[in-house]
Amino acid sequence: MSTITAPRGVRDILPEESWKWAHVLSATGKIAYAHSYREIHLPVFEQTDLFSRGIGETTDVVEKEMYTFLDRGKRSLTLRPEATASMVRAYLQNKMQSDQQPVKLWCAGPMFRYERPQKGRYRQFWQIDVEALGSDNPLVDVEVISVALALFEDLGLSNLDVVINSVGCPACRPAYREELQTYFSDHIDELCETCKSRLHRNPLRILDCKNERCREITENAPDIYSSLCQECRVHFDAVLDGLRMLGIHFHLDKRLVRGLDYYTKTAFEVLSGELGAQNAVCGGGRYDNLSEAVGGPHLPGVGFAAGLERIVLIMEQQQCSFGRKPSIDIYVVSADETSRKEAFSLVTELRKNGLKADLDFLDRSMKAQFKSAVSKESKFTCILGESEISEGTVTLKDLRTGEQVAVPRQEAASYVLSRI
Ligand code: AMP
């Protein structure tokens, strides 16, 4: 029988990497709370309708990428491909309309999309999601963007590019769609097959096609700015003014439309040259009509999602600090058969005193135990042999300096604690 491996596009986050994730998530909590965003835990699966109605039937995510299944009660459920629709559902279901507005929330967790796996693109990946629900104030858009940038700055990321656009609203987008359809119809034979099929379903998506010829054609496509209605234009200008006020550099990108239908007005991404083809580290925008699309009342909202794997990739490439790698303070080495059991009780005492402590469970030689201490990057070893047990002492060695002392056993913890 062949050994079972993880499905394509998903991976184990091993301890060598998971401590880096913990660092990013702890920074996220710190920055989110500093901006008064509170953490929420959302379910990993939802009713399929939430996504098909919320994200949009004609989007790649809904058409091709969802992990949808029937449960034993024949209900159609979907592993969440993103968190925004769930945030809106949670807001409505938990009657957060009666809380102070905007309701500012964040969450982090795995998302699932059936995409072609490549560097920085997986079928299970983690997103950090930050959302502000219940306000149409353009300064909230600015705040959300500034939360993303504050997080990236805190993590030490550099050379990021903020790109922004407005995708209009249901009042002004139809006219722009038509304008695009007319423009692209003249070039229909030159477009890639996917874009040909997008022409009538979702012409805005042609703008962000990565195909070289499609990109050349979109170069001269009409931009949305001149089609924006008064309300969208005033909103967009206010967002840009707010960004300038905070000294946030950005580029306008008329091609930025994003893959999810629910966006209205502001759409933005943060890009990194470090990521190759998958260059977006974070994407977001405003979604004032999402709530209505899933059967709720009008509820303005704005937020972003940042990819955890991609953040870690950039940090590694830019040699950013992940803080201190977890290691142990003390490794107890037993010198002989009789001290093995005693070593276990000593380790327990040391742990109770607040030390990170470990020992050997395989009855290995002292030499092998010292090697373990070094490979676990322990700061101290504590040698326990027959003579130490009869004298009530232990021998402590500081592995950083080589200094070795014998101390009474009950003082071992305080000795090490004062030196780490
Ligand atoms: P989106 O929800 O598509 O706007 O994506 C927001 C962010 O999530 C992107 O900027 C990426 O950092 C990350 N992301 C999206 N899809 C994937 C994926 N398949 N694998 C890894 N990260 C992803």
CA nearest ligand 1 atom 17, residue: 121
What mean pLDDT is predicted for residues 50-63? 88
Give the model's confidence band at 200: pLDDT under 50 very low, under 70 low, under 90 confident, else very high: confident
What mean pLDDT is predicted for residues 215-226? 90
What mean pLDDT is predicted for residues 181-188? 92
Other Cβ atoms within 10 Å of 270 Cβ, number: 24
CA 217 to centroid of ligand 1, rounded, Å: 26
Report the largest interatomic distance among the alpha carbons of the chain, rounded to a whole angstrom. 93
Give pLDDT tens digits for 97-133: 999 999 999 999 999 999 999 989 999 999 999 999 9
Output the CA angle 241-268-57, nearest 5 degrees: 135
Residue 47 has pLDDT above 90, yes or no: yes
- Which of 193, 272, 184, 289 is CA-nearest to residue 232? 289
Residue 351 has pLDDT above 90, yes or no: yes
Q: Parallel, antiparallel, or unpaired for β 301-307 and 357-359?
A: unpaired
pTM of the full structure: 0.93
CA 310 to centroid of ligand 1, rounded, Å: 8
pLDDT recorded at residue 71: 97
Question: Is the beta carbon of 113 within 6 A of some atom in ligand 1?
Answer: yes
Give pLDDT tens digits for 352-390: 999 999 999 999 999 999 999 999 999 999 999 988 999
**Residues contacting 192, CB < 8 A, separation 6+:** 209, 211, 213, 214
Mutate to test the pocket of ligand 1, among 278, 304, 308 (most ligand atoms within 8 A of CB): 278
Question: Is the beta carbon of 272 within 6 A of some atom in ligand 1?
Answer: no
Sign of CA dihedral 100, 102, 106, 111: positive
CA nearest ligand 1 atom 18, residue: 121
Catalogue all structural domains in the chain, each as residue range(s) with its CATH number: 15-172+228-317 (3.30.930.10), 330-417 (3.40.50.800)
Cβ contact 306:151 at 8 Å: yes
Residue with tokens 């780490």: 420
pLDDT recorded at residue 23: 98
Question: Is the beta carbon of 126 within 6 A of some atom in ligand 1?
Answer: no
CA nearest ligand 1 atom 21, residue: 121
3-state helix, strand, coil in the chain (%, to 5): 45, 20, 35
Mean pLDDT, the chain, rounded, equals 94
Give the model's confidence band at 20: pLDDT under 50 very low, under 70 low, under 90 confident, else very high: very high
Which atom of ligand 1 is found nearest the CA of 269? 10
Question: Is the beta carbon of 281 within 6 A of some atom in ligand 1?
Answer: yes
Question: Is the beta carbon of 65 within 6 A of some atom in ligand 1?
Answer: no
Question: Is the beta carbon of 270 within 6 A of some atom in ligand 1?
Answer: no
Which atom of ligand 1 is found nearest the CA of 117? 19
pLDDT recorded at residue 277: 76
Residue 86 has pLDDT above 80, yes or no: yes
Alpha helices in 126-275 (DSSP H): 138-155, 173-185, 193-201, 212-219, 230-245
Mutate to test the pocket of ligand 1, among 60, 290, 310 (most ligand atoms within 8 A of CB): 310
Rounded to an integer, what distance in angstroms lies between the CA atom of residue 359 and that of residue 215? 60
- Which of 113, 129, 143 is CA-nearest to residue 278? 113
pLDDT recorded at residue 257: 85
Tell which phi-psi region holds residue 45, choosing left (phi > 0), alpha (psi between -120 and 50) or beta: beta
CA 81 to centroid of ligand 1, rounded, Å: 9
CA nearest ligand 1 atom 10, residue: 282
Mutate to test the pocket of ligand 1, among 21, 55, 67, 121 (most ligand atoms within 8 A of CB): 121
Question: Is the beta carbon of 129 within 6 A of some atom in ligand 1?
Answer: no
Question: Among residues of the chain, what percentage have pLDDT more than 90?
Answer: 81
Question: Is the beta carbon of 280 within 6 A of some atom in ligand 1?
Answer: yes
Give pLDDT tens digits for 258-284: 777 788 999 999 999 877 777 899 999
